[in-house]
Structure 1
Amino acid sequence: MPTFATAPAFAVAGVVAVVLTALSGRYGYHRDELYFLAAGQNLDWGYVDQPPLTPLLARISTFLFGDTPMGLRVVSTLASAITVVVVALIAREFGGSRAGQMAAAVCAAVSGFVLGVGHLVSTATYDLLAWMLIVLFAVKLLRTGEGRWWLALGLTAGIALQNKYLVVLPVGALLAAVLIVGPRPVLRSWWLPAGVAVAGFVALPNVLWQFQHGWPQLTVAGGISSDDGIENRITFVPLQLLQLSPFLLPVWVAGFRQLWRTPWARSVALAYPLLCVVVLAVGGKSYYALPLLLPIVAAGATPAADWLDGHRRAGVGALVLTAVTSAVFALPMLPASAVGFVLPINKEQGEQLGWPSLASAVADQWNRIPAEERSSAAIFSINYGEAGALRRYGPALGLPPAYSGHMSFADWGQPADIQTGPVLLVEIERTLTLERYFRNCSEVGTIDSIVANDEDGAALVRCDAPADEWSTLWPKLRRYY
């Protein structure tokens, strides 16, 4: 085994951490982050749409570093920096030279996907780190045949299952690839069931929570597939290229060839296309398969480093171009008014803007409700982003807690039946599906966001009263997607 390039790998990871920290407070909270903040205040072993790990880490990060976008994102930044180091370790397992390991770390550091998920707190942030650790342990298992690596795989997979169930995809793809191209002896070890047992034990609390609540995560997943499946399939290949970075395509190709020529590593190369087939079949999002490209890039890093020896000017230019384009599309580099330029590639940029303005607009309409009616009035938002923003910014504006039937917000409280007064609705667009549950609704305002995000043009609707008691309406107002 080559010596690990400790100093270069950690230096690259350090640069990533510095860049992410410097930009972490530039825009504002993402809609998902507002949801995680609320979930972190309602800790449980599970939620309708996710396991508990990301909300727990969000609460820890804000407790330690402050209730600000920058404070929230510290743990996410550290996870992304560690991911860069793990990619370098994977390159070493493939026989990568010191220069190759550094090249692998740099390729990970300048990829749009790593920067994008590192900037925000999301389940994908910690999922990426877990996937890289799983691949690292899987490669060690395949290279050495030492069955005890199944325990490390099982422990990592179990922790990852407490973050997101998608981890079953890379594990399943790797197992299928080993069955097809080998080395199959690693599957005949008693350490395999031991690793499965460890994974099951660690994931058990959330599995029990899902069982006790009727497996709501399956309902959520089905809704995502039915709503976005066609679009996800059409954009799958282009986004694989764009989100990683098209400039890394030569490294990716070189890595695939390198792995395919190495019998014990061939299954790592095959796992990626197998995973792509599964994601396309179920209509999943493009980033569901994207992490397995990073180990392939790691395998191609040493050939890329060798090529750079004779083409340094071209190589440095390509890396700079990759870093700049990835940063522009993945990080808050542009003025807020210019973010529309990057939304076709990365719509998450726009979801970090406009939330304080939304809360102010709602507060303006709330204050127009006669003071004597406000004690019996309620605010209801159509989605968790709006509800999270109103929970975060509303108290400073004198707003009461906002309610929503979306995802786990439906479990975190509902208006009391004695609240029979006016209802202020926050809708993406007016819809009779929602307004039929209220009386005499009329539009009183709109949300004007600085960019064309989901909330731009959202309607503020005031209704005279709920059509029935809130306890009767609440099951009908629940939405899983």
Structure 2
Amino acid sequence: MTAVVAARTEPMAISDGHPEFAVRGVALMALISTIALTATAGRYDFFGDELYFLSAGRRLDYTYADQGVIVPLFARIADLLAPGSVTALRFPAVIMGVGAIVVAALIAYELRGSRRVQLLAAGTYATSYLLATQVALSTFSFDATLTAVITWLFIRWVRTRQDRLIVIAGLVAALDMQVKWMIPLVWACLGLGVILCGPREMLRRPALWVSTGILASSLIPILYWQSQHNWPQLAMGAIIGAEQDATGYGPIGFLPQWLGLAGFLGSLLIAVGFWGVCRQEALRPYRFIAVALVIMTTFVIITHGRPYYPTGFFPAMFALGAVALWRYDRKRWMNLAMIPTVVLTVLTFIASLTVLPLPPGWRTVPENAIDLGFRSAFWGTTNWTRMVAAVDAGYDTLTPAEKAHAVIIAQGYWQAGAVEQFGGQYDLPATYSPSRGFGFFGPPPDSATSVIYVGLDTAEPELRNRFERVERVAQVDDPMGIPGIDRMVAVWKCRGPKQRWSVAWDSMTTLYFDLGLWRDPKATTRPTR
């Protein structure tokens, strides 16, 4: 990172000859990042979505209601190799994050950046908060890096005009389609960027249409599954938007969160990258990358999406910014001004790995969804086992005859994943949930006549509509806890379902995830399975 403040006598980043790739420096940075991220990966307990991925991995399928198969597959492998290990579960995400560091350096190399410039681009990603958040196993962990690889292949094509690179990009996009269904939007934004800014020669290459066909073909099994289940993914857009508005201030809070992921140095390089593709002749052929980022970011803001959706473009923008910065005729005060930016960036990143999560004694009480978002970021999600112990206490109230025809039903998919993950020490029956993707795993058997139901303590009226007898048997309500985990949670013993499960399940399944602290009536659409 000291490369940022080097004297202006450093050779220009773009020259007639192609610089060497900083193999040793990038390899050392990747090794240090791998060790640091792996060593600190287990500091947070399982996140709710990670528990869901583990449950999905136990039910491997070619696709799911809300994602592709790759993340559940890796979750399953980790669960088999190291059961219960948070670090093992997150190690694939660590590797993907480190891969994005390398891609940032490769893009700088393609832009003819010197070795120092390559290390600046890689180091910016390596010290961004984006990398710190990428460590948790998620579809984003894979999607961000695969998107970065696609931008690298497009940039390399601009320099070499090797059409096989575009075909490879299509294959990577098809692979990414099995992770997260955002890649067609990325592909379309890149295409619009090329149409608006060039190089339009790419549009005349058959390789582009072959690669687009490859990506389109990868959608076929996913679209078939969705068509057979009433297109649940289409309904998710409004729900995600409502959740984002509740937990992240919606479009108003988008940009601060977006820049926060980039970090201080990353935000600076993104700004310089935009300037560079407009003002520096050597970088103008790559304007389509910056334009694609603008188009996608605008779309995500309008649709109230998550701030991290467009961040797969960050490695390319870091590289463009690093090259543009190095070519700029900087004054001495500019070099000096970079010192606090670099120091603040590095210290913030180190703090995110060592200080967080904060001590339990400093916990705050979440009173609304925004508080819950801060609580999760600074303390994580904890006390899953306390909730599962309450489920076991409720199960123990059943008679042996009732246990023979009993199941567990969780109101939320996080709770269902927790029961499956931590319920191994108890002799619990199969777990089901009507929540989001978990609901599409299927209903309980019609022979199930007794249910131990765990959910928010407001669920009882709904339960009485569905069962002949409902009895509350356990309560978990720590004032300092997290709603849905160890606060506002109750366990009921329910007997005599009024409908067969194969009939009732369609009316129970919902994509809406009740956080316990907010409600959006517009987001309660129930898909028909």
> Same fold judged by TM-score > 0.5?
yes
Matched, 1:473 2:504: yes
Task: Report SS of the residue matched to 2:499.
Answer: coil
CA distance in 2, matches of 1:323, 1:434: 52
Aligned twin of 2:199:
183
Aligned twin of 1:88:
105
Matched, 1:9 2:29: no
Aligned twin of 2:272:
254
CA distance in 2, matches of 1:358, 1:426: 10
Aligned twin of 2:123:
106
Deviates more, 1:77-86 or 1:355-364: 355-364
Structure 2: which amino acid aligns with 1:124? F
1:409-453: per-residue Cα shift (whole Å, max 9, x none)?
Answer: 223343333332354332274364555323454544124386546
CA distance in 2, matches of 1:64, 1:137: 34
Paired residues, number: 480
1:192-222: per-residue Cα shift (whole Å, max 9, x none)?
Answer: 1111122234444334333443433223334
How much does 1:288 deviate? 1.1
Task: Report SS of the residue matched to 1:136.
Answer: helix
Structure 2: which amino acid aligns with 1:322? T
CA distance in 1, matches of 2:289, 2:441: 43
Task: Report SS of the residue matched to 1:426.
Answer: strand
Matched, 1:426 2:447: no
Task: Report SS of the residue matched to 1:82.
Answer: helix
Matched, 1:269 2:303: no
Q: 1:422 to 1:56 in 2, by over 3 A?
A: closer
Aligned twin of 2:436:
407
1:344-396: per-residue Cα shift (whole Å, max 9, x none)?
Answer: 55835655422122212222233234455333343211111110110111121
Aligned twin of 1:381:
410
Matched, 1:354 2:383: yes
CA contact (8 A) 1:378 1:422 kept: yes
Among 412, 430, 448, the residue aligned to 2:478: 448
1:86-139: per-residue Cα shift (whole Å, max 9, x none)?
Answer: 01111122222110110111100111112211x211000000111100110111
Between the two proteins, what is the percent identity of the paired residues? Answer: 27
Q: 1:378 to 1:60 in 2, by over 3 A?
A: closer
CA distance in 2, matches of 1:330, 1:156: 30
Matches within 5 A, 1:262-341: 262-302=283-323, 315=338, 317-329=340-352, 333-337=356-360, 340=363
CA distance in 1, matches of 2:463, 2:377: 26
How much does 1:45 deviate? 0.9
Deviates more, 1:93-102 or 1:254-263: 254-263
1:67-88: per-residue Cα shift (whole Å, max 9, x none)?
Answer: 4111112221111111110011
Aligned twin of 2:256:
238
Aligned twin of 1:18:
35
CA distance in 2, matches of 1:161, 1:319: 36
CA distance in 2, matches of 1:381, 1:394: 13
Q: 1:201 to 1:284 in 2, by over 3 A?
A: same
Q: 1:451 to 1:89 in 2, by over 3 A?
A: farther
Deviates more, 1:69-78 or 1:332-341: 332-341
Aligned twin of 1:396:
425
Task: Report SS of the residue matched to 1:476.
Answer: helix
How much does 1:460 deviate? 1.0
Matched, 1:124 2:140: yes
Matched, 1:366 2:374: no
Matched, 1:30 2:53: no
Among 470, 475, 487, the residue aligned to 1:457: 487
CA distance in 2, matches of 1:338, 1:181: 54
1:446-479: per-residue Cα shift (whole Å, max 9, x none)?
Answer: 2438654653413214144233332232111111
CA contact (8 A) 1:239 1:345 kept: no
Task: Report SS of the residue matched to 1:289.
Answer: helix
Aligned twin of 1:173:
189
CA contact (8 A) 2:278 2:284 kept: yes
Alpha carbon RMSD of aligned pairs, Å? 2.9
CA contact (8 A) 2:19 2:113 kept: yes
Structure 2: which amino acid aligns with 1:55? P
Deviates more, 1:417-426 or 1:189-198: 417-426
CA distance in 2, matches of 1:55, 1:125: 13
CA distance in 2, matches of 1:413, 1:344: 30
CA distance in 2, matches of 1:360, 1:77: 31
Matched, 1:153 2:169: yes
Deviates more, 1:201-210 or 1:165-174: 201-210
Deviates more, 1:319-328 or 1:345-354: 345-354
Task: Report SS of the residue matched to 1:73.
Answer: helix
Structure 2: which amino acid aligns with 1:300? G
CA distance in 2, matches of 1:289, 1:228: 15
Q: 1:85 to 1:225 in 2, by over 3 A?
A: same
- Unaligned runs of 5+ residues in structure 1 are none
Task: Report SS of the residue matched to 1:399.
Answer: coil
Structure 2: which amino acid aligns with 1:366? Y
CA distance in 1, matches of 2:29, 2:372: 28
CA distance in 2, matches of 1:454, 1:380: 14
1:304-353: per-residue Cα shift (whole Å, max 9, x none)?
Answer: 56879988886455334323323544777334516757965583565542
CA distance in 2, matches of 1:241, 1:50: 26
How much does 1:227 deviate? 4.8
Aligned twin of 2:525:
none
Aligned twin of 2:158:
142
CA contact (8 A) 1:88 1:104 kept: yes
CA distance in 2, matches of 1:328, 1:374: 49
Aligned twin of 1:74:
91
Structure 1: which amino acid aligns with 2:290? A
Aligned twin of 1:209:
225
Task: Report SS of the residue matched to 2:109.
Answer: helix
Task: Report SS of the residue matched to 1:3.
Answer: coil
CA distance in 1, matches of 2:463, 2:339: 55
CA distance in 2, matches of 1:463, 1:224: 32
Structure 1: which amino acid aligns with 2:278? W
Structure 2: which amino acid aligns with 1:318? T
CA distance in 2, matches of 1:66, 1:463: 30
